[in-house]
């Protein structure tokens, strides 16, 4: 009986790992307009996708792909965050060092908020009822009251924050891109409580979290790899290689899968056999340049912003041709099994 159970368990794990590679592009949601993009945010409760689009944020219905509306005048926008209890949304406008606060139901702009220089990543922490922006110009994090839109303080992370997660202990963990460390701060006191430096790789961008097993997944661009870290001690547990250009990471607790999206358009997928052991579950080629993603923990769908590129001659014949975005090719790609 024991032998039979072992065989069944091994078989089920193998099927699970193979199942990860069955992800494929199942839909394309065209979005009008040209220009660059960065983060994509899913509001699962409202079934809405917020796609940054250089000077605006396009809001798309996650189920139908129809354009719901647009949040205008967001120069150099990186991302968006939604504070559902207050029906407020926020965008990080890196080109003007401001955050746009808007009504998340009507998409009407409420006001603009001055924050640190170069706001990039943006996220909502429900316990403190605050929005946080990772500011690359001032190497800090601005805290905003989600109800009023007032700035309530600054976290001195002394680094350029990238992706952040909220841990079960109530603290926020954020990757510091140039400092090569994970910074842990209290969202209520705004004090840094821990720093987890590492040397295996550099330029951490993506950060995912396994709450059950207390594991962090730190995706790095330089020496491309994921570092698996104990979320309490900061101890490195293991690491594994990924495709070049890591940008975002997600963790599916139900399937035990770690996802890393990269600028090469490769979605790297790994299966968690145990909290300390991981295996390659196959990669999916999405589309070159599709470097960020949003994961729906309920439907298991993955959303990617995407454009097509073309080469154009440089004005200076002595220089290499330029890669530019092909007009009319901005899409939100939907991956599912």
Instruction: Report pTM.
Output: 0.90
Is residue 271 assigned to a domain?
yes
CATH code of 267's domain: 2.130.10.10
Q: Which residues contact 260 (CB under 8 A, 6 or more apart)?
A: 206, 217, 219, 226, 242, 243, 246, 248, 249, 267, 268, 270
C-alpha dihedral sign at 129, 58, 45, 105: positive
**Looking at per-residue confidence, does 251 or 266 come out higher?**
251
Q: Is 20 helix (H, G, I), strand (E, B) or coil?
A: helix
**64, part of any domain:** no
- Residue owning tokens 């089920």: 12
Task: Indicate whether 110 belongs to any domain.
Answer: no
Once rounded to an integer, what is the mean pLDDT over residues 213-223?
Answer: 97
Token pair, residue 308, equals 């097509």
Tell me: pLDDT of 81 over 90: yes
Report residue 322's pLDDT band, with 50, 70 and 90 as the boundaries.
confident
The whole-number pLDDT of residue 11 equals 37
Q: How many CA atoms lie within 13 A of 232 on its CB side?
A: 6
Least confident piece of the model among 81-85, 222-226, 327-331: 327-331
- How high is the pLDDT of residue 61? 98
Query: Could you tell me the pLDDT band of residue 30, with boundaries at 50, 70 and 90?
Result: very high
Which residues span the domain enclosing 336?
Answer: 20-33+199-298+314-337
- Residue 93: inside a domain: no
DSSP 3: H
Q: Is 103 helix (H, G, I), strand (E, B) or coil?
A: strand
Residue 263 lies inside a defined structural domain of this protein? yes
Q: How many domains does the chain have?
A: 1
Question: Is residue 25 a part of any domain in this protein?
Answer: yes
Instruction: Name the CA radius of gyration of the chain, rounded.
Output: 20
Contacts within 8 Å (CB) and 24+ apart, 289-292: 289/263, 289/265, 290/261, 290/265, 290/333, 291/245, 291/247, 291/248, 291/261, 291/262, 291/263, 291/265, 292/37, 292/38, 292/39, 292/40, 292/247, 292/248, 292/261
Tell me the C-alpha to C-alpha distance, in Å, between residue 249 and each of 58, 63, 202, 244. 22, 23, 16, 13
CB 81 within 8 A of CB 122: yes
207, part of any domain? yes
Which residues partner with 152 through β-bridges?
none
**Given this model, what pLDDT does residue 21 score?**
63
Q: What is the mean pLDDT of the chain?
A: 92
Residue 209 is assigned to a structural domain of this protein:
yes
Lowest average pLDDT, out of 96-105, 147-156, 228-237, 312-321, goes to 312-321
pLDDT band with cut points at 50, 70 and 90 for residue 258: very high
Between 177 and 3, where is the model more confident? Answer: 177
Note the pLDDT of residue 192. Answer: 98
């Amino acid at each position: 009986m024991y032998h039979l159970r072992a065989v069944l368990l091994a078989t089920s794990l193998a099927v699970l790992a193979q199942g990860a590679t069955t992800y494929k592009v199942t839909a394309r949601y065209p979005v009008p307009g040209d220009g660059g993009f960065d983060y994509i945010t899913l509001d699962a409760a409202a079934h809405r996708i917020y796609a940054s689009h250089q000077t605006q944020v396009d809001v798309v219905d996650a189920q139908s792909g129809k354009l719901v509306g647009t949040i205008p005048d967001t120069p150099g926008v990186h991302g968006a965050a939604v504070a559902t209890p207050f029906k407020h949304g926020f965008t990080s406008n890196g080109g003007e060092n401001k955050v746009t606060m808007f009504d998340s139901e009507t998409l009407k702009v409420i006001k603009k908020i001055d924050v640190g220089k170069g706001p990039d990543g943006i996220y909502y922490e429900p316990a403190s009822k605050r929005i946080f922006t990772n500011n690359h110009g001032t190497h800090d994090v601005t805290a905003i009251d989600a109800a009023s839109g007032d700035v309530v303080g600054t976290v001195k992370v002394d680094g350029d924050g990238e992706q952040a997660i909220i841990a079960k202990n109530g603290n926020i963990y954020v990757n510091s891109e140039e400092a090569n460390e994970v910074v842990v701060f209290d969202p209520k006191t705004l004090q840094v409580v821990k720093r987890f430096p590492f040397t295996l790789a550099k330029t951490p961008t993506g950060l995912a979290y396994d709450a059950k097993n207390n594991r962090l997944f730190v995706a790095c661009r330089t020496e491309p790899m994921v570092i698996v870290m104990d979320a309490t001690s900061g101890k490195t547990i293991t690491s594994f290689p990924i495709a070049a250009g890591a940008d975002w990471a997600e963790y599916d607790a139900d399937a035990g899968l770690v996802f890393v999206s990269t600028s090469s358009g490769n979605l790297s997928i790994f299966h968690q056999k145990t909290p300390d052991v991981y295996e390659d579950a196959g990669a999916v080629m999405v589309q070159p340049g599709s470097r960020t993603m949003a994961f729906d923990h309920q439907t298991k769908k993955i959303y990617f912003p995407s454009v097509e590129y073309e080469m154009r001659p440089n004005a200076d014949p002595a220089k290499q041709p330029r890669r530019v975005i092909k007009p009319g090719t901005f899409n939100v790609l939907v991956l599912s099994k």
